[in-house]
């Protein structure tokens, strides 16, 4: 490791610690030339699979592509950029964990949809309609109604806001 101050190559590690999640090792080093200190970070190189497109072409996995698809689907929806980044992180993590050399693009699309479904239903339908390129309107409506059925099973989000306010009976003096 080259010293950022003097460019010397000799240094010694004076402290080494693991990040909270254990993904990163942080090393404090001291240059043996100028004696100044600097920090280096070491992490495992993530091996992401190649993406196999519908037309059989292979492409390098590109998180920006997924992110921009998500942004488009979530336009004007109450979903933060931070949440979208988390969705992509989770998908990346799943792909790395699976350890496959190649993964069909459709497989990634399904993963995205599964996560969007829980995040924002409007965004989900938008993404699904673009991504799945439904063969006909009927297929799309089927998907939509399945989704709506699922939604109906859920309890209302803010029942308290709609509950009638109860007035306490006043104590008689
Ligand atoms: Zn130095």
Are 32 and 91 in the same domain? no
Give a yes or no: residue 20 inside a domain: yes
Are 90 and 127 in the same domain? yes
- Contact residues for 104 (Cβ-Cβ < 8 A; gap 6+): 51, 52
Q: How far is the CA of 23 from the centre of ligand 1 (A)?
A: 28
Q: How high is the pLDDT of residue 127?
A: 83
Q: How far is the CA of 119 from the centre of ligand 1 (A)?
A: 49
Helices of type H across the chain? 63-73, 81-98, 105-119, 121-131, 137-153, 159-162
Name the residue range of residue 18's domain: 11-43
Per residue in 127-136, pLDDT (tens digit) is 887 766 655 5
Are 28 and 89 in the same domain? no
Q: How far is the CA of 44 from the centre of ligand 1 (A)?
A: 26
Q: How high is the pLDDT of residue 9?
A: 94
Q: How high is the pLDDT of residue 163?
A: 45
List of the chain residues with pLDDT < 70: 131-173
Give a yes or no: residue 164 inside a domain: no
Q: How far is the CA of 22 from the centre of ligand 1 (A)?
A: 29
Give a yes or no: residue 161 inside a domain: no
Q: How high is the pLDDT of residue 168?
A: 53
Q: How high is the pLDDT of residue 160?
A: 45
Q: How far is the CA of 33 from the centre of ligand 1 (A)?
A: 5
Judged by DSSP in three states, 41 sits in: strand
Q: How high is the pLDDT of residue 159?
A: 46
Are 56 and 129 in the same domain? yes
Give a yes or no: residue 169 inside a domain: no
């Amino acid at each position: 490791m080259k010293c950022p101050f003097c460019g010397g190559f000799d240094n010694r590690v004076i402290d080494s610690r693991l990040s909270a999640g254990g993904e990163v090792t942080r090393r404090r080093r001291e240059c043996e030339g100028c004696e100044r200190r600097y920090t280096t970070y070491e992490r495992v190189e993530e091996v992401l699979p190649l993406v196999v497109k519908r037309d059989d072409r292979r492409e390098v996995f590109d998180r920006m592509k997924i992110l921009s698809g998500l942004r488009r689907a979530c336009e004007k929806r109450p979903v933060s950029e931070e949440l979208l980044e988390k969705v992509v992180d989770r998908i990346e993590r799943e792909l790395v964990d699976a350890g496959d050399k190649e993964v069909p693009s459709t497989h990634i699309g399904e993963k995205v949809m599964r996560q969007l479904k829980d995040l924002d239903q409007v965004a989900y339908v938008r993404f699904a309609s673009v991504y799945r390129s439904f063969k006909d309107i009927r297929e799309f409506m089927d998907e939509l109604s399945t989704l709506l059925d699922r939604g109906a099973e859920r309890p209302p989000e803010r029942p308290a806001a709609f509950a009638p306010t109860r007035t306490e009976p006043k104590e008689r003096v």
